[in-house]
Amino acid sequence: MGFLLPTFDEATERRFDVWRASRLNDALLAPVAIGGLAMFSFLAWDWLLDPTQFLACLLIRGTGTIIMMACAWKLLRTRATPLQLRWLGMLAVSAGTVSIALTQFLLQDGFLYGPAGLALFPTVSAVVVTRARQVPLLNLPGFAVVVALLLLKGVEGFALFNVIAFVGTGVFASGILALALERTARYGFQLELRLEEQAHIDPLTGIANRRRLEQEARDEVERARRFNRPLSLMIMDLDHFKGVNDRYGHPFGDKVLRTLADLGRANLRQTDLFARVGGEEFVVLMPETTAEAAAQLGERLRGLLAATPINDGEHVVTVTVSAGIAAHGPDAPTMEALMAMADKALYEAKAQGRDRVVIGPGGVG
């Protein structure tokens, strides 16, 4: 937990940046466009303060408006990455701040009567960053220009302090607002991650479900094909499971399923994906694994399950499992082909008497 903010691992932090940038991209179009158009509302103030500089102020504000509208157009036409969004935000905020600062530089007593306007765009910068810590960096160009113009104008004393205080207050307020917005966004992202995880987890056993298997299997098959790396898939099916349910009841059957899932979690490698894909059917996806090595893992699980009494307080039962294995190759180039070959090997294991592991064509039994 960071300062008031939930934190994630490095890879998830990058996902958060992309996730938030996509939402800010949609939300920023209207504020940036409206901010650009609002620049013209200050023209009345320019005229009242110094009519002789009105045309120059019109040119400055018009240029700022064009830059901000160009940023809005970019947001409308493209899906900005986090880095692109940061640069667009910096450009839009700087255009607004610099335009106001330049008009105040031209107008008589502009910095004396109009410092509040310099706090406007720094405050708005809170809604254009994915991270609150980016607020000072986003406002740095505009702040630098304001300071330079103050020095050129010869502003000093209270007037100098007043302008800098207004700009600093705008940046500070923006940082506080950005922190609150980021905190809300992180909790929303955290909830989305939990929902995403639940959508890929089998609720009974707590291991992966078919949806997650299908997603990861396609990626692993493509990686094995591209880099010519070994990949094996094993389908496991509990023997006589219907009889277990009929004789001991479904709660006991659920305990059997959880027992196999627990054994898999404890004995498979971190790189292996263990999933429940049907009632009593499980699949193990094993990257960087030959069929023979997969068979060894299968034999270990088969032996452990057969040697593990399942006790619900009323019954003590041992169950067995049969498994079929397929290896990625010319005979099984796709995830569907791997599943089909492993399924055939599983049926062969059942036909040979169950409680055994069989490798499909192309391997050694």
Provide the annotated active-site residues.
280
CB 275 within 8 A of CB 213: yes
Q: What is the CA radius of gyration of the chain?
A: 32
CA-closest candidate to residue 283, choices 333, 330, 245, 335: 335
Helical packing angle, 291-306 and 250-267, nearest 10°: 130
C-alpha neighbours within 13 Å on the C-beta side of residue 320: 13
| Cα separation, 127 vs 88, whole angstroms | 12
| 3-state SS class at 95 | helix
Beta strands in the chain (DSSP E): 231-238, 273-276, 281-287, 310-311, 316-317, 321-327, 357-359
Helix (H, G, I), strand (E, B) or coil at 238: strand
Cα angle: 289, vertex 293, 296; to 5 degrees: 140
